[in-house]
Structure 1
Amino acid sequence: MSQRPLIVLLEIAMIAGIALILNNVIAIKLWPQGGSISLVMVPIVILAFRRGWGAGVLAGLIVGLLDLMIAPYIVHPAQVVLDYPLAFAALGMAGVVKLKEAPLKDQLGLIAMAVTFAGALRLAAHFTSGVIWFGQYAPEGFSPVLYSLAYNASYIVPDILLSILVMVVLVTKAPQLVTRPQ
């Protein structure tokens, strides 16, 4: 039996564990209803670049389910799906952008694009949940749509920027961590 599937599964498990730690232990908690600035995106994006979007989505799904078990904020079953497994699984979609054997400058642009794309998908999941279930927290006279966008962007945009910064450092200093193993 080939060891390749086992190695990929081990990478997924390790990445999910690292991402969970980064999301829950090493994080700046901002809001009482959830949301924090962390490096949760970085390990999932690294895996997505190394093994493809499928492995990245699976790792994100696992992180979302584990986060649901550790620190849940539940108001509705559909909200749970949007805010936990779907939002974190979306981070694995960074793997649809392929890092080519290209100059470093081009790779950095692709990384920024992939992290932004994955972060925007995560934002869409949290935004949808916020409009439907958390609009009640909007200040008087404030649109629930704008409130949800502002609330969720307040931690996801810094997450995206911080993740891009860390990924740029990693691909510059340790590209073997980000590139697909042979």
Structure 2
Amino acid sequence: MIEIRELHDGEFDVLDTVFEGLSDESRFRRFHAPVRGLTANARRTLAAVDGRRHVAVAAFADGRPVGIARLIADATGVCDLGVEVVDDAQRAGLGARMLREVADLAAAAGHVLVQADVLSTNRAAMRLVLSVFPDAVAFPEGTTTRLVAALPARTSPVACAVPCAA
């Protein structure tokens, strides 16, 4: 059974468990570089979920963290997307489920656009983003492609760590 819930500030244990479940190839696809471990600064940044500028959800399979999707907004309301799913839980639709949930949270917080920088060879990640944002526009930039899409309009209340924007 898969549970998806909002990730909270300082949940280093969830962050670390998901990171450890990624193969070297999955880490490269996610971070666009060979990453053996997260620096202390990267861990702090990725765990600094505030429910407003930085929203994130985590997926759990029988209580074990198996994925995280996050959107971190800049001052203009444009959110950078990051998704990671542990290798043994990939290709089961979990990324799309998390992406829809985190997009709802970001829209409820008042954000308007999402962008994802994806390795141009990472067809699975491109399919994931396009499955949730079929109107995304692709901007190839060398070895990466930036996908840009409007966040969905908020249609129903979403539980937020801080009061949601109306």
Q: TM-score if structure 1 supplies the norm length?
A: 0.32
- Structure in which a larger fraction of residues adopt helix: 1
Q: TM-score if structure 2 supplies the norm length?
A: 0.34
- Structure in which a larger fraction of residues adopt strand: 2
